[in-house]
Structure 1
Amino acid sequence: MTLQSRVLQVTDRIVARSADSRAQYLARMDAARRRGPARAHLSCSGQAHAFAAAGPDQAALAGGSAGNLGIVTAYNDMLSAHQPFERFPDLIRAAARASGGTAQVAGGVPAMCDGVTQGEAGMELSLFSRDVIALAASVALSHNTFDAAVFLGVCDKIVPGLVIAAQAFGHLPIVFLPAGPMTSGLANDEKARVRQQFAAGEVGREALMAAEMAAYHGPGTCTFYGTANTNQMLMEFMGLHLPGASFVNPNTDLRDALTQEGARRALALSALGNAYTPVCDILDEKAFVNGIVGLHATGGSTNLLIHLVAMARAGGILLDWQDFADLSEVVPLLARVYPNGLADVNHFHAAGGLSYLIGELLGAGLLHPDTRTIAGQGLARYRTEPKLRDGLLVWEDGAGHSLNDKILRAAQDPFQPTGGLKRLTGSLGTAVMKVSAVAPEHHVVQAPVRVFHDQDAVKAAFKAGEFTGDVIVVVRFQGPRANGMPELHSLTPILSILQGRGQKVALVTDGRMSGASGKVPAAIHVCPEALEGGALARLRDGDVLRVDAVAGTLDVLTDGVADRDPVAPDLSANASGMGRELFAAFRDHVGRATDGASIFGGR
């Protein structure tokens, strides 16, 4: 199948834009590759420190002939998605030994949950935790005693942070090992219904708690298609997972077999063998285009419009939101997974999952088939599914057709002809919107604004009955420089109630919404942010905005707004508490959302 012309055009544009920075990056990786792991060049004392606690692996490590695998883990038992990683080091060590190698836990990285911190002060550390994770993973690998690595991480900021670190150590082969989604619990639409009832005062906290516990009930990733599961899709589309590994449930024989095979594969890809495949050769411009295509085809998380930009820049690849917008015009939406539909990721996986989706997109000429992957055979290998046959892990062809066309569709019969994410530009700046779950009649909203400086004030206005007509809720000073760019997902229930009453309603903010952004149109990541003097800082109650996801525009219709002085807010309340005082340097040096909202490279 010939590659679609728009995919070629966008790829060529990214290659040209990135030529200098990519060449500099690859030169650094080549120099690191030539130096190789310094294990054998360490002093005897240095080696003794590194191997002292390795037990039965000490002799192999001291001999220097066996491949040594570094494990970087985001394990904690507070996050359901990461709790299964408790067992992974033992599985990985056993697999490495069986292959004649060794494995050591190189270090841990923090992993926080946006679900726990929604609406709380801790959410203001969430985005910055991505860069902390990159720094922590780099410290873990800085001992330079590893021939390859496996990264254990799943959730919202963890995978992007680990990818940024992987790019810094791009001369190493690195395999990402997921934990898988929890088994299905309370249906996501029922959970959302109870949340709305609670927000409206129709049920009490006891009913809300019962619903939430029934939804989030065991180990594994949350089952809706938010940022965590979008991350897993990306790692498969971009060739850093084993084929079909993303959505196998935790603590199953198949999951354990995939974990051990991932460890073996990482060692096989090291420079000690004949299949040396470093990360810098996998994560090229084509791989990132494939990731963006997957994001659109699945209606993935808006957070990835920030994370993918930051992930790519760590490897010298310069993405911008126009690349996303141009690809969205030609990539059809092929999946309906909550909040874009009623199914969860387990239903999606059962209906054919990523193997079917990748096959459809390859057949339509929408993916680069010739990217390098850890599987070693290009992206076509990812059309297969892992199975256990007589205790052996094998890969077999998938069904070749959707097993449920309410969840997965063929490229010639999509849910909608364009992707699930839109870029908006206009007199208010630039923003993004997830449209895959928004009904067509809500794609354009023109209404007066109510302006707020935090989400608690929005909730108070709702409880006071102040939202009686069509309204665009503006929540400003929520950008990365102002307070770390928290998600505002806790506003979803009340905005949904207003929409359900027949009011035209939208959200506009320089903050983030959520990977679970749903049926209410939300123009988010507005840039420049209000603290930089962006147009958001000049709005007043009653100004009229037009949010148009059809035309891709975001405009102030009231005259004279640009001539006003920007509001100067008091942000002192965001400066301390829950560790926020320790992140002042991050707020001072973070880049714009359009550049990945990263501290690396600054503004």
Structure 2
Amino acid sequence: MATHDTIRRITHRIAERSAISRRCYLENMAKAAASGRNRTKLACANLAHVAAATDAAEKRALLTANVANIAIVTAYNDMVSAHQPFERFPALIRDAARRHGAVAQVAGGVPAMCDGITQGADGMELSLFSRDTIALATVVALSHNAFDAALYLGVCDKIVPGLVMGALGFGHLPALFVPGGPMPSGLPNPEKSRIRQLYAEGKVDREALLDAEVRSYHSAGTCTFYGTANSNQMLMEIMGLHLPGASFVNPNTPLRDALTAAATTRVIALSPPRNEAVSLCRILDERAFVNGIIGLLATGGSTNHTMHLVAMARCAGIILSWDDFADLSSVIPLLVRAYPNGNADINHFHAAGGMGYLISTLLSAGLLNDDAETIMGTGLEAYTEEPWLDDGELAWRPAASTSGDDTVLRPAAAPFQPTGGLSLLSGNLGRAVMKVSAILPQHRVVKAPARVFASQSALLKAHASGALEQDFIAVLPFQGPKACGMPELHKLTSALGALQDRGFRVALLTDGRMSGASGKVAAAIHVTPEAVDGGLIAKIRDGDLLVIDPENARLDVLVDDEILAERVATAMPETNCFGTGREYFAHARNTVGSAETGASYVAPVWLATPD
């Protein structure tokens, strides 16, 4: 079917908006490609260092120009469950490379922190900034200029966006992203959420809470709820950077290992001297980023990607805006119900048909740019297939033609709702985003007095004391990137959810973030301009009447303009910017961009015309 007119129009609009910056970026990539294979340009001593630690056969290969050298950039660590499986991947990749006459080397590692560990703690103030640190580490890993292509090993929240941002700095190289896969299903997500809420209400003790959490997060692999980490994997597949069907195969299984080896084979095919397909800079164009947004909307993915996709795109010279997300949301149906948008986890989604079915039904409805380039060539048809082991050998077959569970995954012709469930709110408070797909319709619009808090802990303390038994909108200013690194405020969900369940009208308004697993309670987040930038959110006082209305895309404080003009903005609370490494990121807080421009302190703008 022909691509939907709105999708074509928005894709064209982005291309026009980005014409100068995109041309500048591509010209720089063309210069890098025109300089020839990097390893052949190295002086003898430099090349000797590249090969020094390899065995005799690889040393001979690296000293010649007719063998591909594949960079491995890995986010391995063995504390974060999603990244622990990557410990085995370099050996699998090196073995596959040798079998195909190539060499693979770990070019570098990048940090991989876990928001689940730092949630509500001081370390969360480093979380968003870790994305740009990962981009920088990726660039450093590739700066040796000794590689013909790259494999990127990452899964979780900031890691994949950071890897993409850094990889685009070497966008003239072929690239392929290699996932680790989700852990098997544990305690069902609704039960985990129920126990968290009971704990917030003081009805169960810490031992019961810890037992539930351990049964939820119980083995190696990605957490199974559909948060930012699994949204990352969906994006890499629908944007054409994974092997088809690779995103949600469990780790440490024969199929997972076969896919890792096949990723190596494929990237070798993309590399000199073979050059079967396009480089990363051509794959990640405006068509791919629009497809990524469509995937995010169709699956009810993480709101963090209203920043991450913007920052990633800017590294490719492409300028996205929140209006693009909102306009696409008006025509993209919601096709997936996975926690927090439903009860299922990512394994249930995969079993119901997964990415192959999702991409197939979107294509059949004309709801993707079907001519986008991928690591498999032009078009997304290859991504309507799923991998399997045929007598021990990796093969692909057509994905399911019908959903295996229509409570989890539906066709575009019979969606859960006709829109993507992401709203852009605007009003006298500025602009914000709101994920409505995870909120029951009766809880989406909230008009209530403000209760202003200086911190998460202040709100939780008020809740524990019984001081929040009323309708209210919790206001947390000074949570933006410039103020304190934009920590997630997910710990508020249980307290606010408990109040909502008792019949109160509650919501959250903040220039900070919520988790990719946020939902249930209306939350206008990423408010821009943020408080520290003069945003009106800093002038809200207790009792001011606020309106959060995604149905009419409104975000307002109902106070006369004259009164607001006379008010002095609340001063930023005294914060401790020392400890847990926060002092090392003062430069990031001072230079970071707004949430709407990606909240990045390193992403190139590519607006200057090259010499």
Deviation at 1:571, TM superposition (A): 3.7
Q: What's the counterpart of residue 588 of structure 1?
A: 590
Q: What CA deviation, in whole Å up to 9, does each residue of 1:233-279 have, x standing for no partner? A: 00001000000000000000000010011011111101311414210
Q: What CA deviation, in whole Å up to 9, does each residue of 1:501-523 have, x standing for no partner? A: 00000000000001001110100
Question: Does residue 1:341 correspond to 2:342, yes or no?
Answer: yes
Quick check: 1:590–1:602 contact (8 Å CA) kept in 2?
A: no
Question: Partners of 1:354 and 1:176 in 2: how far apart?
Answer: 16
* RMSD after superposition: 1.0
Matches within 5 A, 1:400-479: 400-479=401-480
Q: What's the counterpart of residue 115 of structure 1?
A: 116
Quick check: 1:421–1:434 contact (8 Å CA) kept in 2?
A: yes
Q: What's the counterpart of residue 518 of structure 2?
A: 517
Q: What CA deviation, in whole Å up to 9, does each residue of 1:169-194 have, x standing for no partner? A: 10000100000000000000000011
Question: Does residue 1:130 correspond to 2:131, yes or no?
Answer: yes
Aligned residue pairs, count = 602
- What residue identity is the alignment partner of 2:413? Q
- What residue identity is the alignment partner of 2:223? C
Please give the secondary structure, in 1, of the residue aligned with 2:202.
Answer: coil
Of 527, 543, 564 in structure 2, the residue corresponding to residue 561 of structure 1 is 564
- What residue identity is the alignment partner of 1:42? L
Q: What's the counterpart of residue 392 of structure 2?
A: 391
Question: Does residue 1:281 correspond to 2:282, yes or no?
Answer: yes
Quick check: 1:11–1:285 contact (8 Å CA) kept in 2?
A: yes
Question: Partners of 1:549 and 1:258 in 2: how far apart?
Answer: 42
Question: Partners of 1:403 and 1:260 in 2: how far apart?
Answer: 29
Question: Partners of 1:365 and 1:104 in 2: how far apart?
Answer: 41
Deviation at 1:602, TM superposition (A): 8.6
Matches within 5 A, 1:339-378: 339-378=340-379
Quick check: 2:179–2:247 contact (8 Å CA) kept in 1?
A: yes
Question: Partners of 1:42 and 1:276 in 2: how far apart?
Answer: 26
Question: Partners of 1:206 and 1:35 in 2: how far apart?
Answer: 61
Q: What's the counterpart of residue 181 of structure 1?
A: 182
Quick check: 1:226–1:300 contact (8 Å CA) kept in 2?
A: yes
Q: What's the counterpart of residue 51 of structure 1?
A: 51
Q: What's the counterpart of residue 38 of structure 2?
A: 38
Q: What CA deviation, in whole Å up to 9, does each residue of 1:352-408 have, x standing for no partner? A: 011101011111111011111111242111000001101111110012111100001
Q: What's the counterpart of residue 504 of structure 2?
A: 503
Question: Partners of 2:36 and 2:163 in 1: how far apart?
Answer: 21
Per the alignment, do residues 461 and 109 of structure 1 end up closer, same or farther by CA in structure 2, a change over 3 Å counting? Answer: same
Q: What CA deviation, in whole Å up to 9, does each residue of 1:82-114 have, x standing for no partner? A: 000000000000110111000000000000000
Deviation at 1:561, TM superposition (A): 2.3
Quick check: 1:220–1:250 contact (8 Å CA) kept in 2?
A: yes
Quick check: 1:300–1:420 contact (8 Å CA) kept in 2?
A: no
Please give the secondary structure, in 2, of the residue aligned with 1:370.
Answer: coil
Per the alignment, do residues 602 and 240 of structure 1 end up closer, same or farther by CA in structure 2, a change over 3 Å counting? Answer: closer
Deviation at 1:41, TM superposition (A): 2.1
TM-score after normalising by structure 1: 0.99
Question: Partners of 1:514 and 1:602 in 2: how far apart?
Answer: 26
Question: Partners of 1:357 and 1:407 in 2: how far apart?
Answer: 11
Q: What's the counterpart of residue 61 of structure 1?
A: 62
Please give the secondary structure, in 2, of the residue aligned with 1:36.
Answer: coil
Matches within 5 A, 1:90-239: 90-239=91-240
Question: Partners of 1:290 and 1:570 in 2: how far apart?
Answer: 41
Please give the secondary structure, in 1, of the residue aligned with 2:457.
Answer: helix
Of 584, 594, 598 in structure 1, the residue corresponding to residue 600 of structure 2 is 598
Please give the secondary structure, in 2, of the residue aligned with 1:90.
Answer: helix
Q: What's the counterpart of residue 20 of structure 1?
A: 20
Matches within 5 A, 1:200-349: 200-349=201-350
Question: Partners of 1:553 and 1:480 in 2: how far apart?
Answer: 23
Question: Partners of 1:401 and 1:570 in 2: how far apart?
Answer: 54
Please give the secondary structure, in 1, of the residue aligned with 2:491.
Answer: helix
Q: What CA deviation, in whole Å up to 9, does each residue of 1:47-101 have, x standing for no partner? A: 1111111124111111221100000000000100000000000000011011100
Moved more, 204-213 or 263-272: 263-272
Deviation at 1:601, TM superposition (A): 5.5
Question: Partners of 2:547 and 2:573 in 1: how far apart?
Answer: 28
Which residues of structure 2 form unaligned runs of 5+? Answer: 606-611
Question: Partners of 1:62 and 1:354 in 2: how far apart?
Answer: 41
TM-score after normalising by structure 2: 0.97
Moved more, 59-68 or 20-29: 59-68
Which residues of structure 1 form unaligned runs of 5+? Answer: none
Per the alignment, do residues 91 and 601 of structure 1 end up closer, same or farther by CA in structure 2, a change over 3 Å counting? Answer: closer
Quick check: 2:448–2:505 contact (8 Å CA) kept in 1?
A: yes
Per the alignment, do residues 77 and 545 of structure 1 end up closer, same or farther by CA in structure 2, a change over 3 Å counting? Answer: same
Please give the secondary structure, in 1, of the residue aligned with 2:397.
Answer: strand
Quick check: 2:165–2:603 contact (8 Å CA) kept in 1?
A: no
Q: What CA deviation, in whole Å up to 9, does each residue of 1:405-437 have, x standing for no partner? A: 000111111000000211111011100011111
Quick check: 1:482–1:571 contact (8 Å CA) kept in 2?
A: no
Per the alignment, do residues 601 and 266 of structure 1 end up closer, same or farther by CA in structure 2, a change over 3 Å counting? Answer: closer
Quick check: 2:315–2:603 contact (8 Å CA) kept in 1?
A: no
Please give the secondary structure, in 2, of the residue aligned with 1:432.
Answer: strand
Q: What CA deviation, in whole Å up to 9, does each residue of 1:8-46 have, x standing for no partner? A: 111111000000000000000000011133212212111
Deviation at 1:600, TM superposition (A): 2.3
Question: Partners of 1:331 and 1:443 in 2: how far apart?
Answer: 19
Q: What CA deviation, in whole Å up to 9, does each residue of 1:331-352 have, x standing for no partner? A: 0000000011110000000000
Question: Partners of 1:244 and 1:219 in 2: how far apart?
Answer: 20
Percent identity between the two aligned chains: 61
Question: Partners of 2:469 and 2:559 in 1: how far apart?
Answer: 21
Question: Partners of 1:456 and 1:303 in 2: how far apart?
Answer: 22
Per the alignment, do residues 601 and 171 of structure 1 end up closer, same or farther by CA in structure 2, a change over 3 Å counting? Answer: closer
Quick check: 1:591–1:602 contact (8 Å CA) kept in 2?
A: no
Question: Partners of 2:535 and 2:294 in 1: how far apart?
Answer: 30
Q: What CA deviation, in whole Å up to 9, does each residue of 1:198-217 have, x standing for no partner? A: 11111111111100000000
Shift >4 Å, 4+ stretches: none
Quick check: 1:476–1:536 contact (8 Å CA) kept in 2?
A: yes
Please give the secondary structure, in 1, of the residue aligned with 2:293.
Answer: helix
- What residue identity is the alignment partner of 1:254? L
Question: Partners of 1:346 and 1:208 in 2: how far apart?
Answer: 23
Please give the secondary structure, in 2, of the residue aligned with 1:70.
Answer: strand
Please give the secondary structure, in 1, of the residue aligned with 2:374.
Answer: coil
